[in-house]
Amino acid sequence: MRTRFAPSPTGFMHIGNLRTAIFEYVLAKKYQGDFILRIEDTDQARKVEGAVEFIYKTLELCGFQIDEGPLNPQKYGPYIQSERLDLYKKYALELVEKGKAYYCFCTEEELENMRQKCALRNKPFAYDGRCSKLSAEKIQENLAKGIPYVIRQKMPKTGYTVVNDVIYGEIKIDNSILDDQILLKSDGFPTYNFANVIDDHLMAITHVIRGKEYLDQTAKYNLLYEAFEWEKPTYIHVAMVLGEDGTKLSKRNGDASFMDLYEEGYLPEAIVNYLSLLGWSPANNVEVFSLAELIANFDEKRISKSSSQYDVKKLQWFNHQYIQKMSDEEYLTWVKKYFTHDCEKPAEWVDKLLLIYKKQLEYGAQINDLTREFLEEKYEPNAECLEFMKSDPIIPQVVACFKEEIANIDWTVTNLNQAINNVKEKVGVKGKLLYMPIRIATSGIMHGPELADTIYLIGEDKVKERLNK
């Protein structure tokens, strides 16, 4: 089993690309196979500076070990397409020899004419095949003159081509709709449609996982494999991941990229876990699992045929679960990377503050919003709080009793918890009627983290002063 992740460095890897990489990685690892990284940079015009580094960083942070790739080349290298141009040319010429491809010397003007003719008939552009009829002498003459050329694949005009896909089954494509596509461009670069076949074969890729948008194209790839008499890989086409607004994700539009999420304090493990469930589900229905568990339970046959939708709320839920799994020490080291408030309190106090929000935190940078009110030390119960305080005659008793209970205690969380418990016993209230009056009276807000922890951190003097108010 050899799978490959073959991103084009045309922007910052969005989560849909990463989802494909996850499937490729876990499939290879499930069968103790190899995971190969190949950079598909044949479209030089769309290349984006820095995109390759982003790809490496993303895969590394996700914990994927790349068995072969540009940074650790093995015998199948180079792993960057722009470094393989000689190979594509060699194979394109071999196809010409076999009569499965031909030189095309058409000028931009001729092609434009063809385009217009197709448009008049309301048809998508298809090359009319005129250069496939050139005589051997004419071809030699043109080549000798140095006329620029492309190499086109010669498609059968009748019959159909079968594509077998693990998810979508057997698909028959009518050959008459297949265009004599370009394999090698006049600048010597291959098209994606050609390079992917050459590379998948030469790199001994056994399983190709890629977006469903390539499914129809696969007939053309199969014809190439057949022309070379090469064994085809197993195809696994996966349905799209749509953005939050239900439209196609795009690197260029800056849709959620792994690195953006990482920088906001989403944990790679949580991201991988969540993304693996976009368009796939394990037989045991377990939702939270490690990469190792995902590898063990991955079943490519359970990949869904329909597209899935990215939902940041759901990702936050997963991230929250992973935050809870951290030890307090790990959590503090991690969350401090995101905590940007200028705060003059002692370090120990800050640690306590960060810790009391652990149970609520959904992503790292959220810590700033959660702790803002606390740090501003405002005490301004809003109208809703004030209304609640007047909603039951027992509430003033709760507050008065709490005030008495804490009058002479040592200021510790345990004692504060004890005090709250005493109020419960003495006044005979529980739940909302117990906690909310104490919370509002001490902190001025209706909801927050653990009550005793909160009161402890506000501090004895301030709490007493507020209770008097």
Residues that are catalytic: 251
- For ligand GLU, give the closer residue by CB, 7 or 437: 7
Q: Which of 425, 423, 433, 426 is nearest to 393 (CA)?
A: 433
**Choices 1-9, 51-59, 116-124, 439-447 (CB under 6 A): range interacting with ligand GLU:** 1-9
> Which residue in the set 14, 210, 358, 439 belongs to the binding site for ligand GLU (CB under 6 A)?
210
CA dihedral of residues 326, 328, 331, 337 (deg, nearest 10): -170
Q: Is 41 in the site for ligand GLU (CB under 6 A)?
A: no
* Interaction pattern, residues 97-136, with ligand GLU; x per rule: CB under 6 A: ----------------------------------------
The string of DSSP codes covering 185-230 is: -TTSPBPHHHHHHHHHHHTT--EEEEEGGGTTTHHHHHHHHHHHT-
Percent of residues in the chain assigned helix, strand, coil, to nearest 5:
50, 10, 40
269 touches ligand GLU by CB under 6 A: no
Answer for which of 12, 15, 34, 40 binds ligand GLU (CB under 6 A) is 40
Distance of closest approach, residue 349 Cβ to ligand GLU, in angstroms: 49
Nearer to ligand GLU, 100 or 210 (CB): 210
Pick one of 2, 3, 6, 26: the residue that binds ligand GLU (CB under 6 A). 6
Kindly indicate which of the ranges 4-12, 168-176, 301-309, 310-318 contains the residues binding ligand GLU, using the contact rule CB under 6 A: 4-12
- Measured from the CB atom, the residue of 10 and 417 that comes closer to ligand GLU is 10
Residue nearest to ligand GLU (CB): 210
Nearest in space to 270 (alpha carbons), one of 228, 212, 314: 314
Q: DSSP class of residue 313?
A: H
Residue 65 vs 250, nearer CB to ligand GLU: 250
Residue 308 in the binding site for ligand GLU (CB under 6 A): no
- Residue 195 to residue 182: CA distance in whole angstroms: 11
CB of 185 vs ligand GLU, minimal distance in Å: 16
Tell me: cis bond preceding 78? Omega within 30 of 0 counts: yes
Identify which of 274, 457, 227, 248 has the alpha carbon closest to the alpha carbon of residue 348. Answer: 457
State which of positions 171-200 bind ligand GLU (CB under 6 A).
Answer: 196
Cβ burial, residue 209 (10 Å; 0-12/13-18/19+): buried
Nearer to ligand GLU among residue 191 and residue 196 (C-beta): 196
How many of the other CB atoms lie within 10 Å of CB of 186? 13
CB 50 within 8 A of CB 290: no
List residues binding ligand GLU (CB under 6 A).
6-8, 40, 196, 210
